[in-house]
Amino acid sequence: MQKIAIYPGSFDPITNGHLDIIRRSRLLLDKIIIAVNDNPSKTFLFTVKERTEMIKGAIPASPGIEVESFRGLLVRYAEKKGARFIIRGLRALSDFEYEFQMDLMNRKLSPGIETIFLMTSQKYSYLSSSIIKEIVQLKGCSEGLIPEIVREKLLEKFKNNF
Ligand SMILES: Nc1ncnc2c1ncn2[C@@H]1O[C@H](COP(=O)(O)OP(=O)(O)OP(=O)(O)O)[C@@H](O)[C@H]1O
Ligand SMILES: [Mg+2]
């Protein structure tokens, strides 16, 4: 039976920290569906279409990797996709608190779905989408932290602020 996992997130925008989690989880599982959160009540810098396109542009086409957007309850989406696993990345203790609560709730909602946590790689441990947006907006160096396509899109977004 194919081991399918959902890697959900805002990806606003995708960073090399996310890409590292995707690459490492793909070594463990047959298929990773990167699921871009299309939550209408949240405010994002990029539209769901832009976020999805940037991921597709940053990842070479691979049979074991898909990119989609989703709305609503994550476990229902995972069930619909035949995924038995959810992938999450952990950076700091602050991630743990939230992820712990989400994991317990998701298991209550759908006991058959297991969340797999991957610890960040040291070089990305301080990296988040939020900090990247700040750095690029303030003209800081984002070398090695985001794919080139993301850097271009961010510069375009912020060009009126410069
Ligand atoms: N640098 C990183 N290393 C490991 N995991 C990460 C890293 N960045 C994000 N993740 C994980 O990827 C998943 C999706 O994250 P998300 O899209 O919310 O990114 P984020 O960087 O946390 O964004 P934001 O700054 O908006 O909170 C979460 O499980 C998150 O912990
Ligand atoms: Mg976050």
107 counts as catalytic? no
CA of 16 to the centre of ligand 2 (A): 14
| H-assigned helices in the chain | 16-26, 48-58, 74-80, 93-109, 129-137, 148-157
Q: Let me know if domain 4-125 sits in CATH 3.40.630.30.
A: no
Distance CA 23, CA 64 (A): 10
Measured in Å, residue 110 CA sits from the centre of ligand 1 at: 23
Instruction: Choose, from 10, 18, 84, 142, the residue flagged as catalytic.
Output: 18
For residue 96, the ligand closest to its alpha carbon is: 1
* Beta-sheet pairing, 114-119 with 65-70: unpaired
Provide the residue ranges of all domains of the chain, joining segments of one domain with +.
4-125
Atom of ligand 1 nearest to the CA of 131: 25
In a structure prediction context, what are the per-residue pLDDT tens digits for the chain, which is 162 residues long? Answer: 899 999 999 999 999 999 999 999 999 999 999 999 999 999 999 999 999 999 999 998 888 999 999 999 999 999 999 999 999 999 988 899 999 999 999 999 999 999 999 999 999 999 999 999 999 999 999 999 999 999 999 999 998 765
